[in-house]
Amino acid sequence: MSLAPSLSSPPELELLQGGEEFFPALIAAIDGAAQWVQFETYIFDLHGAGALVAESLIRAASRGVTVQVLVDGIGTEPISQVWQKKFSASGIAWCVYSPLAAGLGGFGILVPDRWRRLHRKLCVVDQRLLFCGGINVLDDFYDPNYGELAHARFDFALAATGPLVADAVDAMALLWWRVQAGYSARQRHLSAAWERVKAAGYGGRVDASALSPAKPSRAGQRRLVPRPGTKAVLVLRDNLRNRGSIEKAYLRAINNSRQEILIANAYFLPGGRLRRALVRAAKRGVKVTLLLQGRYEYFMQYHAARPVYDKLLSVGIELYEYEKSFLHAKVAVIDSHWATVGSSNLDPLSLLLAREANVVVEDVAFATDLRTRLLAAIASQGRRIDAVTYSQRPLGQRLLGRIAYALMRLAIFVTGQRY
């Protein structure tokens, strides 16, 4: 099994588990920035670790680094006046992707066009160091809906250097321009929006060697693990040219699998093609293991996945539910050399509507590291779902599953998508 020929090589990679590993690495990179920090996230929450990240961005902007932060208009709550003043005083450029229409309040989410969210989590520092994964700017021990958590959220990100960073730079700069242009079009200042993008260092890709020698970047000095022969690619999903890119990456790897498929995914409701690929793999003798959300978070995502379990269990696929805390990971390892870490769930919201970003890696050492961590989580915190017991679950649970599944299918139909 191999990746596409366009893969960049050779990158350097580091797997980061949870906020305990991710936030210190992220803050250290931002503190080492010399010229430019590009940041995108679905949730930017200013509690605990989130405040520490915000303070690092303020420090960077205050010393003259261009800092652009793009957050989702639904995932991120409006920030307080105190933080607005801090960001403004430091010079941070803060922008909101697709905010809900004024006057509609919470009902704005009922408009199907508003379901196309910015869900990717990306940060690039000085065009040299990329962070990508499923971790929002959200403290591991805090949830906006459920408050303080007894145990850390289970999630992953990675840090990477190498040619794939340039792809992230271009994608993030282009989206920033589009969002700025949309705002400026409403204000009739399109040329000003483009000038702001060029002033940040983008008018086409910038040569990283042009960074000021008076302020050498320390972002690239992070001790990532060099692995000769490693291949990695940034896979983006959008609603233009890359509508099915992440799903296709999964399908290619699953269809080529020979020994093992190990997936951890927070919101798991794969479409027909992915389900059939997993079933075919199990039938040809591949060991398929899924680690899924075991704690109730959202009605639709939690219950709609349950009707899919029966078919998977019937062919010998092993299903585990993570119950210690909220599972938020979106990762996979196949045959101990293919791996992916990113923001995309295997559900219709991610695979059909949201902007997502995954890094796909072909490297034995990286894949083995991720596999070891997933198996440890399954062994210590996973509850295996028994096929016989599950088939005998109460009628009420079956009805909730069917209702949620039907509502999800209806929502997909309203958007004009097929899944």
Q: Is 86 a catalytic residue?
A: no
SS (H, E, C) 100-139: CCCCCHHHHHHCHHHHCCECCEEEEECCCEEEEECCCECC
Find the catalytic residue in 86, 121, 231, 324: 121
Find the catalytic residue in 126, 139, 347, 363: 126
d(CA 343, CA 358): 6
Find the catalytic residue in 45, 86, 119, 231: 119
Q: Is 121 a catalytic residue?
A: yes
Find the catalytic residue in 45, 143, 167, 335: 335
Beta bridge partners of 233: 360
DSSP 241: S
d(CA 215, CA 227): 29
Find the catalytic residue in 328, 347, 363, 369: 328
Structural contact between residues 245 and 235, judged by C-beta atoms closer than 8 angstroms: yes
List the structure tokens of 32: 């080492």
Q: Is 208 exposed, middle or buried (0-12, 13-18, 19+ CB in 10 A)?
A: middle
List the structure tokens of 345: 């769930």
Q: Is 139 a catalytic residue?
A: no
Reply yes or no: is the peptide bond before residue 10 cis, omega within 30 of 0: yes
In degrees, to the nearest 5, what angle opens at C-alpha 328 toward C-alphas 319 and 50?
Answer: 165
d(CA 239, CA 178): 14
Q: Is 330 a catalytic residue?
A: yes
Q: Is 31 a catalytic residue?
A: no
Find the catalytic residue in 72, 330, 363, 369: 330
Residues 296-309 as b or e (16 or more Cβ within 10 Å = b)? eeeebbbbbbbbbb
d(CA 320, CA 291): 5
Pairing of strands 382-384, 12-17: unpaired
Catalytically active residues, by annotation: 119, 121, 126, 328, 330, 335
